[in-house]
Structure 1
């Protein structure tokens, strides 16, 4: 195994074992496509997307020790930087060649609105092929690596996706209800930990940040996708009708976070107070 990188802190052998136990992976640990696909499928099922720290004004730390403590030991989740920095460290430890990238979000934006490159994705090179890897998008996160250089529809265990390349800029789209919806754009320029720390600080601190103003969580299971925004809980079955529920109290929100998203909630009183201030 080769986990050397001059740009990102390595994960320890014990850390790798703890991660594999957290996501429930029991297969061979090897630089193979089957291993990569299995890890990619299990990660978003076991480790939820959530922004409780920014919502409560708590720091989001991106060093490897903090990521392991929060996402593995404490049974928490996080947003894209936390997920993909941890996942990238795991893949490097196993021996995969990983490049860290940044994407410009397009999802549900009005025409002409330009966002910064504030979403982290990974590119994994394996057997002369390159794959888009991303376990940190949230509600419609990938559940399978996508092959770069293939502009046709690519099936996943959940929705179909498509990657289109225009002069070195890739656009990721998802098919929902028969329509293609753009999610984000990215190039292949490598981003390093300090780049992500600057962007993450902005998302975690700016008074207009979505993560500061709204409580969000997402989790993908084998048969459905779960999403929470403030008091709106949504269940998207893989094959079925979407169900939306309006939660009536902060206590119901906490119950959903714990029972459906599997999040061990820190600062329960502070979260209840924040919800009462912002939502209820």
Structure 2
């Protein structure tokens, strides 16, 4: 990322350029990203190509004012953090499902981020509702977060894998081997095309609100959760209502409503002009 792209990215997050890559700045950037950039899978249902290449990811979030799912959000956020002087390593994870089963390889992407003092943190702005703040990777005790009580624990076995838990429940198993964007192409393709992927079964667009709540549009159902936990839900009737919510509540301007059941876009990592 060049300085102009970095400034444009920070402008979208409404955050000033940090003077140093500190933990405090990382926390501010993390929360701002969750508020400003939606977690969304709309490209899957709009027939848009998902390209796991840094320039394309940043362009989608910054110039096109869109969001994305984990590979896109954490891929772009990692590029921003690297441009700001943080040490950044892409990590693969497998999400826990029913009965403790883990998902496919490269099921999820997260970031290991090293700050100016040498400490290492787990940053994840691509999991929807998850920790609001980075988690300390080396800590093994409980970590208090506005979204719950988190813990990073050894997963056991011969590998150095880690389990990330929220309120005592395992969320995902994190591998410690460094990865590159190209490693996640197959996972992104599977989530975009497989009938077994929940991303292929429904549209979702979700972001953190300024008061610490969350707003989510899933299909045509708009859900709002306040910081106090109170929820409101209503179904949108017309395409115009759906497009207005995308535009006014998520900052996403679309010319048509995404349709479930269309052909997903195959993720690629090749160069594009």
* Aligned match of 2:189: 201
| 1:234 and 2:242 matched | no
| 1:70 and 2:60 matched | yes
Change (3 A) 1:88 1:34: same
Aligned equivalent of 1:14, options 4, 16, 25 = 4
* Aligned match of 1:7: none
* Aligned match of 1:155: 144
Decide whether the 8 Å contact of 1:250 with 1:276 is kept in 2. no
* Aligned match of 1:60: 50
* Aligned match of 1:172: 164
- Secondary structure at the aligned position of 1:161 is classed as strand
Please show how residues 211-230 of structure 1 align to structure 2 within 5 Å.
211-223=199-211, 224-230=213-219
Instruction: Return the alpha-carbon distance in structure 2 between the equivalents of residues 160 and 255 of structure 1.
Output: 35
Moved more, 215-224 or 160-169: 160-169
Please show how residues 63-102 of structure 1 align to structure 2 within 5 Å.
63-102=53-92
Deviation at 1:24, TM superposition (A): 0.3
Instruction: Return the alpha-carbon distance in structure 1 between the equivalents of residues 220 and 80 of structure 2.
Output: 34
Please show how residues 89-168 of structure 1 align to structure 2 within 5 Å.
89-106=79-96, 109-116=97-104, 117-126=106-115, 127-138=117-128, 140-167=129-156, 168=160
* Aligned match of 1:187: 175
**Which protein, 1 or 2, shows the higher relative CO under an 8 Å CA cutoff with sep ≥ 6?**
2
Superposition TM-score, scaled by structure 1 size: 0.84
Moved more, 254-263 or 214-223: 254-263
Instruction: Return the alpha-carbon distance in structure 2 between the equivalents of residues 201 and 163 of structure 1.
Output: 28
Decide whether the 8 Å contact of 1:250 with 1:275 is kept in 2. no
Deviation at 1:228, TM superposition (A): 2.3
Aligned equivalent of 2:235, options 233, 246, 249 = 246
Decide whether the 8 Å contact of 1:170 with 1:185 is kept in 2. yes
Superposition TM-score, scaled by structure 2 size: 0.86
Matched residue count: 256
